Structure 1
Amino acid sequence: MNKSQYSEAYRISQLLAKFLAKTITTEEEAELNGWRNRNENNRLLFEEICNAETQKERNQFIQQINVTHAWEQTQKRLSAPTKKNRNLFIYGSIAATIALLISFPLLFQTPEVKNEETSFSQIVPGSSKAMLITSYGQKITLSSIDEKEQAIQLKNGTKITSDGKKITYFQATDSLTPIKIDTIRIPRGGEFTLILPDKTTVWLNSETEISFPTRFDKDKRVVSLKGEAFFSVAKDSTAPFIVKTTNNLTVKVLGTKFNVQAYTDENTIETTLNEGSVLVSNGQQSIQLKPNQQAVYHTTNRTLNSREVNADYISSWREGKFIFENETLESIMNKLSRWYDIRLFYANESVKNFHFTGDLERYDDFNEVLKMLEKATNIHFNINGKNVIISKTHQ
């Protein structure tokens, strides 16, 4: 199925949804009838969806499809459908998409301020929140609701404090204290700051997990990371600081400032150096970075290379901004989806490769963020709840 067929599937889905909502125009209905009469598959799908006598029957049809799963399968099959499954794929694409659109009736009603406010009110910027999971299985919720700094005594004897935005670990004075591994998880729409026992500061971005010892060894300091974090490492020439990510990638430093982006659903792991020097290695290749350089590890072919970047742009998220320099819309929306905790659906695959340069305020109203992107690129956003449908605008 090529891109033009995919676009047609989405267009027909729009017309079907408008037909059901009784907002379809005469011209649009003629277009829909032309598609319906083209072949038997189209006619059967039309009848199955539109001839349901009640909203209950229509909802049952939607529930049988499983919107999220169907949409994911549609996107996977888009890459290389065979001739054998071509007609079935077109049918499945429309079924998945119409299920999605019928589920969002507000998209096809006459715009009203009330509906827009209702949709956008569910999408808010992230805030300080995290879950601390200790080596003993304790689970402690950390949130900006707790504004006063509190001392917390963990079961393993470790002393920590938290003010709802930052958690501080204190180095044990007794070298015989057993070393345990604690974990902090940041949900989608969250952020938090961690002060490690050696006074290294770690800014943790949304959907991130870091595991670290409650007491560092004398000869090394090792942490494990999934997601994105900015490190300001306390200098210690006798104990290198090592960040381990997935795919056996390591970042080794003595004292420096750098950003690591290592999300498990991305195809690359990016280490960006702001100050000092770091050594990035995958076990077979190593790269020594200088400030304003970025090491990019491609997880698919396991290659490691470097490039020149503006490091301040990469780590701008910790200072309340998103700064993009010729970045793809797909990459931008992935960042926004984690911060605003939204779900993304692409009506046109081609828009993923649109590029954008500019900056957005991290705590801005989501509506303003989308308006900025719409002005700068040839795209349009439809919103319902936490679901965002991204489509190419017609010129």
Structure 2
Amino acid sequence: MEQETFRKLLDKYLTGDLNTAEKAMLSSMIAQPEHKAALEGFVQQVMTASTYEEAYPPDIKERLDVFLNARMHPVRMRAQRIWWAAASIILFIGATVAIIVSSDRQSSPPVATVVQQYMDRAPGRNGAILTLADGSEVLLDSVASGTVVSLQGGAAAKIVNGALLYESNGNELMYNKITTPKGRQFHLTLPDGTGVWLNSASTIRYPTVFLGNERRVEMAGEGYFEVAKNKKMPFRVNINSRAEVEVLGTHFNINAYENEENITATLIEGSVEVKVLPAPRSVTGSSSKVASSEPPGSNSPVAQKRQPGIVLKPGQQAQISDAVRVINDANIDNVTAWKTGFFIFTDLTFDQVMRQLERWYDIEVVFEKGIPERQIRGEMTRNTPLTSVLKYFEKIGIRYRLEGRKLTILP
């Protein structure tokens, strides 16, 4: 049954009938070893001249030709072009079979040999996982625009052009969570009208209705906030239980990935106060150590006195570790480039760049013999395929080996 589904998805790709969910399914299935035989059969069918001419109408062949002309060098022999067409089909949906074509110039027909299975890493895209109050999950990648998502406690949200918009707050205090895996980013509007953009490998937890005298959310990873103004209810972001940002209404970016040296909070507009939170007091038993589960900043006796906060002005960045260090004239374009669809690398170390690529292309980067001592400068769109990034590495003398999701940087 699964093989039949796989073949139907391949056929629908050729006719241009794949929807977003089917594209994601096909991209996932094509990388799985159990579908290798079906994939090779499909490639053989498309590559066979008679099949190619008879099975597919002109509009499909035109799709292939347009794709080839945009991406491949001209190939004189017609049969060779068919081989490359097959490889290009697979490349276009996220994976390919590298094919070496050899021919005896005039008389012998071309001979193709599959030398390795090679999977390009497509750039990240819009998508996230919504976790409801009861622990159930909704894959938002596949939810069509206009769909209303029913939530616990009477709340409701709607997908609008790929973003999640909370329309009704409900009558009970319930918590939802949005998670963007590696290779995904997402935009949502919280119940108070605050806009949040999540970068890849990030999480935000928030109530479906804001009650009391504050609006409090928790986040990890990277997020950009445009906070709806409400002087009576300050907006507070708890960052990895290590720091807190408090605002009334403003635009700012938080970078709080665990594998980065510091948490950074960069103010674009308005005013924010940044505080370092003390580590929660722990309860030690005979064989275990359990941290308190009370919300940071609560009135629980477990919470400790906070350190004084530092107020940022637009253009400033707080670098947070055990204390807060303020950087004046932060490079706002660099900080917010991810939200506008770009990578901007300005004097970044090689490992800093690779951490960004890991998260966006959902890869694992391994340094075979240490990290190259060089800085990277440049700009590119986040729609750039990984192979194009690697071609740039070749030009600057970086050697590598790509095996599936594993990218090894060679000495």
Give the alignment's TM-score, normalised by structure 2.
0.62
> Post-superposition shift, 1:155?
3.0
Q: Is the 8 A contact 1:127 1:190 kept in 2?
A: yes
Q: Which residue of 2 aligns with 1:243?
A: 237
Structural mapping, 1:17-96, within 5 Å: none
SS at match of 1:260: strand
- 1:362 maps to amino acid: R
Structural mapping, 1:1-395, within 5 Å: 118-121=117-120, 123-143=121-141, 145-163=142-160, 165-172=162-169, 177-282=171-276, 283-298=306-321, 302-307=322-327, 308-351=329-372, 353-375=373-395, 377-392=396-411
SS at match of 2:176: strand
Q: Is the 8 A contact 2:227 2:249 kept in 1?
A: yes
Q: Which residue of 2 aligns with 1:63?
A: none
Q: Is the 8 A contact 1:382 1:388 kept in 2?
A: yes
SS at match of 1:309: coil
Bigger relative contact order, structure 1 or 2, given CA contacts below 8 A and separation 6+? 1
Q: Output the CA distance in 2 between the equivalents of 1:279 and 1:235.
A: 15
User: Runs of 4 or more off by more than 3 Å in structure 1?
Assistant: 110-118
- Summarize deviations over 1:174-214 as a string: whole Å, max 9, x none: 7xx22111111111111111100111110011111110010
Identity of aligned residues (%): 33
Give the alignment's TM-score, normalised by structure 1.
0.65
Aligned residues: 273
> Post-superposition shift, 1:363?
0.8
Q: Is the 8 A contact 1:128 1:164 kept in 2?
A: no
SS at match of 1:315: helix
- 2:131 maps to amino acid: I
Quickly say closer, same or farther: Cα 1:350–1:279, change in 2 above 3 A: same
> Post-superposition shift, 1:139?
1.3
| Structure 1: runs of 5 or more not aligned | 1-109
Q: Is the 8 A contact 2:267 2:317 kept in 1?
A: yes
> Post-superposition shift, 1:335?
0.9
The alignment yields a C-alpha RMSD, in angstroms, of 2.3
Q: Output the CA distance in 2 between the equivalents of 1:381 and 1:319.
A: 29
- Summarize deviations over 1:71-98 as a string: whole Å, max 9, x none: xxxxxxxxxxxxxxxxxxxxxxxxxxxx
Quickly say closer, same or farther: Cα 1:206–1:117, change in 2 above 3 A: farther
| Structure 2: runs of 5 or more not aligned | 1-97, 102-112, 277-305
Q: Output the CA distance in 2 between the equivalents of 1:118 and 1:316.
A: 34
Q: Is the 8 A contact 1:295 1:304 kept in 2?
A: yes
